[in-house]
Structure 1
Amino acid sequence: MTLTFHWFLPTYGDSRDVVGGGHGLPAGSAGGARPATLAYLRQIVHAAEQLGFAGALTPTGAWCEDAWLTTAMLTETTERLKFLVAFRPGLVTPTLAAQMAATFQRHSRGRLLLNVVTGGESHEQRAYGDFLDKEARYARTGEFLHIVRALWRGESVDFTGEHLRVEGARLSRPPEPVPDIYFGGSSPAAGTVAARHVDAYLTWGEPPAAVRGKIGWINGLAAGEGRTVRHGIRLHVISRDTGEQAWAQAGRLLDGIDPATVEKVQAGLARSESEGQRRMLALHGGGRDRLEVSPNLWAGVGLVRGGAGTALVGSHTEVADRIEEYHRLGITEFVLSGHPHVEEAYWFGEGVLPILRARGLWRHPGASPDAGEPAGIPFASGTAR
C-alpha cells in the first residue's frame, strides 16, 4: 500500500527552536519567533502541497488558534492539500458539528479530514465548560460519532444516550464525500471508540515494539466489531544529508531548551490524565542523557512539549528506513512536523520522499499516472540534497 504523509500547522507560532505547549499546558506557553499569522501559515501549506504531503494537521486547545476557522481561510490559497482539523466532541452539538463538516467539505471541494480529540485533561475541558470526567468524555465521544455518522448517511436521527440526546436531527445536505475520521488514545475507553467508529487510528511516536502492540490491540478490537481501521503515527522529524548533521541539529535544539523550563513542563505533564502522555513521559523520564529511545527515535521534543514528543532523526536514508520499519508493522499514514515547519518540510520532502518513491512506497498525490512527478519534485533514488 502506498504511504500517505501529512504535515502540521503550528497555529501557536513557530521557531528555529522547539516550541513548547500543548496537551493541557497553560495557554500562552507555546509562542515562537514566528507568529502564526495567515501569511506564515500559507507558506507552510504551499510548501506541503508542492512537496507532496496529502494533508496538514491543525491542533486544538486554548494554546493555539481555532482549527476550523484557520483552515477554512487556508483552503482559499491551496488547491489539493487536505486539512486534518482537530476538534473536541462535547464543545459543540453533534448535529452542528456534522453540519459544519458538510459545509467545509462542500466549500473546500472535499478536502476535510477530522481528528477527533476527546480531551485528556479535565482542567482544560472545564475551561471550555465541560465538566465530565475522562471515562465519561470517551463515552460521550462514542455517542457523538454514532449520531454524526448517521447524519452523514442522510438519516433522520432520534437518539437518547447517557450524555447526548437529539430528536429529528437531519442534514439537508450531507457531505460528499464523507470526511474520514482520525482518532488517537491509549486507554481502554479510547480503544472501544476507535474500534467502533473511526477510519484511522493514530498513535504518538513510540518505539516499534510498542507500536506493534498498539496496532494489534486496535485491530483485535475492530475485528470484534466487524470492522477494520487504518493506522497512522504522529512524529516530528529531523532529516539531513548525513546522520551527523541531523544529530547535530537535534543537539542544537536540545541546547536551546532551558532546564528550568523542562522542570516546569514535566511537572505539569506528570499530572496528566492521558495514558498516551504517560507513555511519552516514560520514554525519557525528564532527563537529557538517554533521549535516543530507539534507533533514530529521539525523545527530546517531549521535554518541553505535551503530546507527540518524539522525532525521527538521521540521514534521509536512515529516516526512510525507520518509516519503512513502521510501515511493515502496519502504519500507512505519517503525520509529521519539524522546527521550523517550512524548512523541515523541504528537508523531508526533497530528501526522504524521493527515496520512498524509488522503493515503491510513495507517490506524489498530485502526479498523474503518465506525467510523472509535478514540477519542483526531484527525481532521485537516493538523497535529494
Structure 2
Amino acid sequence: MQLFWFLPTHGDSRYLGTSRGARTVSHRYLRQVAQAADELGYEGVLIPTGRSCEDSWVVASSLAAQTERLKFLVAIRPGIISPTVSARQAATLDRFSEGRLLINVVTGGDPDEQHGDGSFLTHAERYEVTDEFLRIWRGVAAGETVNFSGKHLRVENAKTLYPPVQKPYPPLWFGGSSDAAIALAGEQADVYLTWGEPPADVADKIAKARAAAAKHGRTLRFGIRLHVIVRETSEAAWRAADELISYVTDDTIAAAQKAFSRFDSVGQQRMAALHGGRRDRLEVSPNLWAGVGLVRGGAGTALVGSPEEVAARIKEYAALGVETFIFSGYPHLEEAYRVAELLFPLLPLDHVRPAGHANITGPFGEVIANDIVPPSSQDVQVAQVPVREKAAA
C-alpha cells in the first residue's frame, strides 16, 4: 500500500467556502507541505492542474530540489500542449529529480476552462485527442522516432535526445469515469485513478478497467483520491467534518453546484449525485462523507472517523485492488502530520517510514522532568481520570 499527499496549489484553509481561516499559498508554504510529506514518509504528492491552480510543472520543478524521496504526480493536458514538447519536459524533470516524476493525464472537464485555453473540442473529441497524444508521447518518451498522422494530431520525426530515468518512461496515471476514459486507460495507462466513491461503485469501475486492459493483454494498477478527517475518536472526527463546512451558506452551495453543472465530466457528475447539493445526505457510505463536494470540484469525499475506523475503510478499498491512496486534509500542513501519526501505524505501507516510528534517535515526544524518555505510543495506555479531576486540572 502506498500513501500520497496533496499540494494545495489552489489555496488552503481551515474552512471551506469562506475566506475565514484562509492561507496564502506561497512557494514557501508549498515547500513546507512538500518537505513535511517527504520527511513523514509519504510516497509522493499530487499537484492539481487548472486555471485556479499554480502551474503544476513549475511547482514540481521548484520543489524537486527541496525534497529527497518524494515523488511528484504532475499533470499533462492533451490538446493544450504538443505531445513531443510534453515528452521532453517529462524526460528533463525525471532526470533532474532522479526518477521521481509520475504523469497524470488530464483530459479536462470544464468546457469554460477548456475554451479559455483555446480548446473547443467536445467530450468525445477530447478523448480522441488524448488517445492520439499518448501514442505519440509514449513513443517519444521511450526514445523512439515517431511519425504519426491521426484525425487530430500529426508529427514527423518527433523525438527527444535525452531519455528519462524511468523506463520506458515515467508511469502514466489516468482518471475518468466515462466508457471512453476506461477504454483509454485500459489500452494506454499504467495506473487507473478514481475519486472516492462507495466501495461497490469503485469495485464496478475497477472491474471495467481490468476488462478493458485485458482486451489488450495488459494489466493496470489502481489508485483512489480521497480527503481524510481522522481524529483520536469518531466523535471528534465528525465534529471536525461539521466544522470544515460550518461557514458554507446555502447560497454558496447553490452557486457552486450551478457552476459544476456545466462540466461534461462524468466523474464530476457522479460526485454531485452522491449528495445532490443537500446537507442532510452527506454520509454516502460508512465513514464516507460527501461534504467537501458541496463547494469543491473534483474529489469531493472524505473518510471520516477514528484511526481504526478510517484504517478499516482504507483496507476495504485495498481489498478491491486499490494500491495507492492519494489523501488530503484541511489545512494540508497540519493534517499531513495528523494522518501520518494516526494512520501510518495501522496500515501495511510499502514505502519508507520515518525513523521515529521505529526507534528513538533524538528528541521524541517531550522528555519528562529532564530524565525520563516517554515510551512509544504503542505501549501507552490512556489513564482513566475522573471527570472532577479533569476539570480541576
- Compute the TM-score of the two structures, normalised by the length of structure 1: 0.91
What is the letter of the counterpart of residue 54 of structure 1? E
**Is the 8 Å Cα contact of residues 15 and 246 (structure 2) preserved in structure 1?**
no
- Match of 1:179, SS state, is coil
What is the letter of the counterpart of residue 106 of structure 2? V
**Is the 8 Å Cα contact of residues 71 and 83 (structure 1) preserved in structure 2?**
yes
**Could you tell me how far 1:258 is from its partner in structure 2?**
1.8
Q: 2:15 is matched with which residue: 14, 17, 38?
A: 17
What is the letter of the counterpart of residue 321 of structure 1? A
1:171 corresponds to: 160
Which of 44-53 and 236-245 deviates more?
A: 44-53
- Match of 2:309, SS state, is helix
What is the letter of the counterpart of residue 200 of structure 2? A
Q: 1:193 is matched with which residue: 171, 178, 184?
A: 184
Question: Structure 2 matches for 1:339-378, cutoff 5 A?
Answer: 339-356=330-347, 361-365=348-352
> Is 1:102 aligned to residue 100 of structure 2?
no
What is the letter of the counterpart of residue 146 of structure 2? V
1:246 corresponds to: 237
Question: Structure 2 matches for 1:91-240, cutoff 5 A?
Answer: 91-177=80-166, 178-240=169-231
2:372 corresponds to: none
Aligned length: 368
CA distance in 2, matches of 1:384, 1:35: 40
Residue 19 to residue 383, structure 1, CA distance change in 2 (3 Å): farther
1:7 corresponds to: 5
**Is the 8 Å Cα contact of residues 36 and 333 (structure 2) preserved in structure 1?**
yes
Larger radius of gyration: 2
> Is 1:267 aligned to residue 258 of structure 2?
yes
1:78 corresponds to: 67
2:44 corresponds to: 55
The superposition leaves residues 85-108 of structure 1 with CA deviations (integer Å, 9 ceiling, x where unpaired) of 122112110100000000001111
Question: After the TM superposition, which parts of structure 1 deviate over 6 Å for at least 4 consecutive aligned residues?
Answer: 373-379, 382-385
**Is the 8 Å Cα contact of residues 11 and 58 (structure 1) preserved in structure 2?**
yes
1:27 corresponds to: none
- Match of 1:80, SS state, is coil
CA distance in 1, matches of 2:320, 2:284: 18
1:310 corresponds to: 301
What is the letter of the counterpart of residue 285 of structure 2? S
The superposition leaves residues 32-79 of structure 1 with CA deviations (integer Å, 9 ceiling, x where unpaired) of 721110110011011111111111101111111100001110112111
Residue 231 to residue 156, structure 1, CA distance change in 2 (3 Å): same
CA distance in 2, matches of 1:252, 1:38: 28
**Is the 8 Å Cα contact of residues 195 and 218 (structure 1) preserved in structure 2?**
yes
CA distance in 1, matches of 2:332, 2:130: 31
Q: 1:87 is matched with which residue: 76, 84, 96?
A: 76
CA distance in 1, matches of 2:160, 2:351: 35
**Is the 8 Å Cα contact of residues 237 and 306 (structure 2) preserved in structure 1?**
yes
CA distance in 1, matches of 2:338, 2:196: 20
Is there any run of 5+ residues in structure 2 with no aligned partner, and where?
366-375, 383-393
Q: 2:311 is matched with which residue: 320, 336, 341?
A: 320
What is the letter of the counterpart of residue 277 of structure 1? Q
> Is 1:336 aligned to residue 327 of structure 2?
yes
> Is 1:284 aligned to residue 275 of structure 2?
yes
What is the letter of the counterpart of residue 58 of structure 2? L
CA distance in 2, matches of 1:17, 1:346: 18
The superposition leaves residues 1-33 of structure 1 with CA deviations (integer Å, 9 ceiling, x where unpaired) of xx011100110111111268xxxxxxxxx9972
- The alignment's C-alpha RMSD in Å is 2.2
**Could you tell me how far 1:381 is from its partner in structure 2?**
5.2
**Is the 8 Å Cα contact of residues 17 and 247 (structure 2) preserved in structure 1?**
no
CA distance in 2, matches of 1:295, 1:314: 10
What is the letter of the counterpart of residue 100 of structure 1? Q
CA distance in 2, matches of 1:129, 1:5: 35
**Is the 8 Å Cα contact of residues 76 and 86 (structure 2) preserved in structure 1?**
no
**Is the 8 Å Cα contact of residues 17 and 252 (structure 2) preserved in structure 1?**
no
- Match of 2:281, SS state, is coil
**Is the 8 Å Cα contact of residues 352 and 383 (structure 1) preserved in structure 2?**
no
- Match of 2:22, SS state, is coil
What is the letter of the counterpart of residue 163 of structure 1? H
The superposition leaves residues 258-305 of structure 1 with CA deviations (integer Å, 9 ceiling, x where unpaired) of 221111001111222111011101100000001110000000000000
CA distance in 2, matches of 1:323, 1:291: 19
Residue 203 to residue 238, structure 1, CA distance change in 2 (3 Å): same
- Match of 2:299, SS state, is coil
What is the letter of the counterpart of residue 11 of structure 1? T
- Match of 1:162, SS state, is coil
What is the letter of the counterpart of residue 133 of structure 2? F
What is the letter of the counterpart of residue 81 of structure 2? V
CA distance in 2, matches of 1:383, 1:157: 61
CA distance in 2, matches of 1:286, 1:121: 19
Residue 364 to residue 168, structure 1, CA distance change in 2 (3 Å): closer
**Is the 8 Å Cα contact of residues 354 and 381 (structure 1) preserved in structure 2?**
no
Is there any run of 5+ residues in structure 1 with no aligned partner, and where?
21-29
The superposition leaves residues 116-157 of structure 1 with CA deviations (integer Å, 9 ceiling, x where unpaired) of 100112221110011111111111111111111111221111
